[in-house]
């Protein structure tokens, strides 16, 4: 029982990281209607920036996180302006290939700057754990902070999108870009802000992920990026609560699958569940069904 609970909590913790990444994916998809494959690599850049601040410059973890968020935000805006904005009228496949090119670019740039050898990322969160149930169940601070961070991010994002003026603009643009523009919404600015928020979230996710799984390589972001994309689709792409739900479910399924089915088949298990869900509910758990018209 305690074993199960402990696995469940590490699953939720991993899932929270996926959820934060998936939020970025789903927002960008909702507004720009593109799969931003470079999103996973922004996680990696965020983690590297934090690593540099902590070890080369000797800043405190708090400054490190802020710095990595700032750099990733700028990076996100820059990528959107340089690579994606000229392609707004292009076919979705061209945009996809550009995003893949961006992903290669970031990975290889990181490899040139920081080298291909994995770096050992030491946690920004104090080590230690909370003991529950008479010391049988131990929850590490990293897990607690990760879960708390994702809840805070989720709430803040829901409030922002639901209540603020910019959030309303985002919802308008995601519904109908042309009509939003006619109503006086600054579409370019809105898309830039979306990329900025998504990238800042990716930076947080990168730091949290490397605190829990401390190996940092130029390809660190690739697999979590794909899984977060899966999580976003799982929950219904374009939906913010869906991304959160999908991310956490995915993390729990992965950890429980590794623990109880087969340690090698964890990823296969995740993807198999995804396929089953999509077969039963082709728009994801919380996705809206759009009726196809002739």
Q: Which of 73, 98, 140, 190 binds other proteins (CB under 8 A)?
A: 98
* Nearest CA-CA partner of 258 in 5, 2, 18, 11: 11
Q: Does 226 sit near other proteins (CB under 8 A)?
A: yes
CA distance 249 to 284: 12
Question: Residue 286 carries which DSSP code?
Answer: S
CA distance 215 to 48: 11
Q: Does 128 sit near other proteins (CB under 8 A)?
A: no
Scanning residues 20 to 39, which ones bind other proteins (CB under 8 A)? 29, 35
Token digits of residue 228: 């977060």
CA distance 272 to 294: 33
Number of helices (H), then strands (E), belonging to the chain: the values are: 11, 4
Q: How many residues bind other proteins (CB under 8 A)?
A: 44
Q: Does 280 sit near other proteins (CB under 8 A)?
A: no
CA distance 87 to 257: 40
Q: Does 278 sit near other proteins (CB under 8 A)?
A: yes
Binding-site string for other proteins from residue 171 to residue 210, where x marks contact by CB under 8 A and - marks none: ----------------------------------------
Positions in the binding site for other proteins (CB under 8 A): 29, 35, 83, 86-87, 89-90, 93-94, 96-98, 100-102, 104-105, 107-109, 111-112, 222, 226, 229-230, 233, 237, 262, 264-265, 267-268, 271-272, 274-275, 278-279, 282-284, 292, 294
């Amino acid at each position: 029982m305690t074993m199960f609970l402990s696995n469940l909590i590490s699953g939720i913790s991993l899932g929270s990281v996926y959820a934060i990444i998936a939020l970025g994916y789903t927002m960008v998809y909702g507004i720009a209607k593109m799969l931003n494959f470079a999103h996973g690599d922004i996680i990696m850049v965020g983690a590297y920036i934090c690593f540099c601040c902590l070890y080369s410059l000797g800043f405190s973890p708090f400054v490190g996180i802020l710095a990595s968020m700032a750099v990733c935000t700028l990076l996100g805006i820059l990528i959107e302006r340089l690579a994606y904005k000229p392609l707004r009228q292009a076919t979705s496949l061209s945009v996809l290939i550009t995003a893949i090119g961006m992903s290669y670019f970031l990975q290889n740039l990181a490899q040139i700057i920081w080298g291909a050898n994995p770096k050992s990322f030491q946690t920004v969160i104090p080590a230690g754990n909370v003991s529950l149930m008479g010391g049988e169940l131990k929850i590490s601070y990293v897990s607690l902070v990760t879960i708390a961070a994702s809840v805070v991010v989720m709430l803040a994002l829901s409030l922002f999108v639901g209540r603020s003026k910019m959030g309303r603009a985002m919802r308008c643009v995601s519904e109908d870009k042309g009509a939003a523009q006619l109503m006086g919404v600054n579409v370019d600015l809105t898309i830039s802000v979306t990329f900025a928020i998504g990238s800042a979230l990716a930076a947080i996710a990168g730091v949290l992920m490397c605190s829990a799984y401390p190996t940092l390589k130029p390809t660190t972001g690739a697999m979590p990026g794909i899984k977060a994309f899966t999580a976003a689709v799982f929950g219904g792409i374009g939906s913010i609560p869906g991304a959160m739900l999908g991310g956490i479910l995915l993390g729990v399924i992965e950890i429980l699958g590794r623990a109880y089915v087969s340690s090698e088949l964890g990823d296969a298990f995740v993807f198999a569940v995804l396929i089953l869900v999509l077969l039963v509910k082709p728009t994801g758990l919380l996705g809206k069904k759009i009726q196809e018209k002739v």
